[in-house]
Amino acid sequence: MKSNLIALTKNLNLILPFCERDLKRRYRGSTLGLIWSLLQPLSMLAVYTFIFSVVFKARWGTSINAQQDNIYFFALNLFAGLLVVNLFGESISRSSDLIISNTNYVKKVIFPVEILPISVVSTATINACAGMTILIIASWLTLGFSAQVLWLPWIWLPLILLSAGASWLISSVGVFIRDIGQIISLFLSILLFVTPVFYPISVLPSKLQAVLGLNPLAAIVDQTRLVIINHQMPNSIYILIAPLLSLVVAELSLRFFLRCKPNFADVL
């Protein structure tokens, strides 16, 4: 069976210019331009460190160890979780009216509109990578260096694939259901709390941990913290299974998008 994801690579010459256009549009008119993609996460991390570590002296989890005594530990864990959720959230929130706002491309018969969600996810990934760079440097300066961080691209591969799959799904549904944007806003508000962003999953009762395990972002957040902050090897099951499952999700979502694609022009 032919993979639509592989076929999509033929349009790389179109995807890259769309990503570039999206980034330029975001920072158009600003004095610092793309530098904001670094300044924003840097300022966020500074604020989280001051509020949670200095003012509230918050402790991450329930165990007491040398890392817990580091005043930056809570802020780094919080920031790592937010980077994962924000990448996914930005991808799907911008997808709800993506096709509707690009009707000029939809009505061009030869234009592959399936690359539009890819450009959105790519831009979100670039922004998240800027924040991740800040997180890695901050972790090295405060907790020390670990080569386990080299696992990060493989850990984030499922996140990017899931974001792409969700973007294809939501952008296609958004053509027919115009309320999808409001639904996504509510969903993201809930997602922020059912993903272990503000707490480690280990503090929850075992039954709740099992329920939370159904959220794929929970595993991605956990593994991200594991390699960057805790300097440990990622879970071997995650490394083997998560990329394959997310690849299947992305492929099925793209197939759904392509099935809906012929009807876009009629609805718009």
| 3-state secondary structure (DSSP) of residue 64 | coil
| 3-state secondary structure (DSSP) of residue 196 | coil
pLDDT per residue as tens digits for the range 11-30: 888 888 888 888 777 777 66
CA–CA separation, 196 and 117 (whole Å): 26
Distances (CA, A) of 250 to 64, 74, 91, 191, 216: 40, 33, 14, 20, 14
pLDDT per residue as tens digits for the range 119-149: 999 999 998 998 999 999 999 998 888 999 9
The model's pTM: 0.90
What average pLDDT does this structure show over 179-191? Answer: 93
Band (62; pLDDT cuts 50, 70, 90): low
